[in-house]
Structure 1
Amino acid sequence: MQKTHADPSFIKMLQGYSLTSAEVLYRMPDHPALLQTFFWQFEDMAPDYPRLRRFLEHWEREIEAIIHSVRVMHRGLVAPQEVRLVRDGGQLH
């Protein structure tokens, strides 16, 4: 009998991770009047957004650009309550 393994991204969805989009508006020191945009999509877990927090901490530490604002969009594609496991689906004759 062949064992099948669940897709790792599906397992992450069941744990609460889902598609997150972040729009970062920032200014470069040499052009402070110009507002620029960085848009990023990734998997993260609301409401704490650990991956986004690590990214923003890295930005503040390593990048000269000054963050003006961050807009976050998050959509749970699959939630644990939407998945029901069935042991016996019955028989059809």
Structure 2
Amino acid sequence: MEPSETELMLKGYGLTTAEFTYHMPDHVHVLNTYVWQDYDIMPDHPKLFEFIEFWQREIEGPLHSVRFCHRKMLSSGQWRHVKGILTLH
């Protein structure tokens, strides 16, 4: 069973977005883009590099460049268990 997005974020994963620029297979001088997103962990980005290896092995359009950013949406310091709420007027 796949872990939920919340479980991944609690383990330190963040949302990685990558823009792949590649040469069209039939027209090598024409570039196209593909956007990929997945939860991945910094600084090694194993899922991103696994996808790049898949692309190079299975997709006909050779890669020109890959740009990516990583956003850690939740850190361990932001997650707290609250037992009660105190309201001040």
**TM-score, normalised relative to structure 1:** 0.78
In structure 2, do the counterparts of structure 1 residues 77 and 90 end up closer, same or farther at CA, with 3 Å as the change threshold?
Answer: closer
Q: How many correspondences in the alignment?
A: 85
Across the aligned residues of Structure 1 and Structure 2, the Cα RMSD in angstroms comes to 2.2
- In the other structure, the counterpart of 1:46 is 42
Structure 2 CA distance for aligned equivalents of residues 28 and 54 of structure 1: 21
- Indicate the residue corresponding to 1:12 in structure 2: 8
Q: Could you list the runs of 5+ residues in structure 2 that have no partner in the other structure?
A: none
**In the alignment, which residue of structure 2 is the partner of 1:66?**
62
| Alpha-carbon distance in structure 2 between the residues aligned to 1:82 and 1:34 | 45
Aligned to 1:72, the other structure's residue is in SS state strand
Instruction: Give the percent of matched residue pairs that are identical in Structure 1 and Structure 2.
Output: 45
SS of equivalent to 2:30: strand
Which structure's residues are more often strand, by fraction?
A: 1
What's the CA shift for 1:84? 3.0
Larger Rg: 1
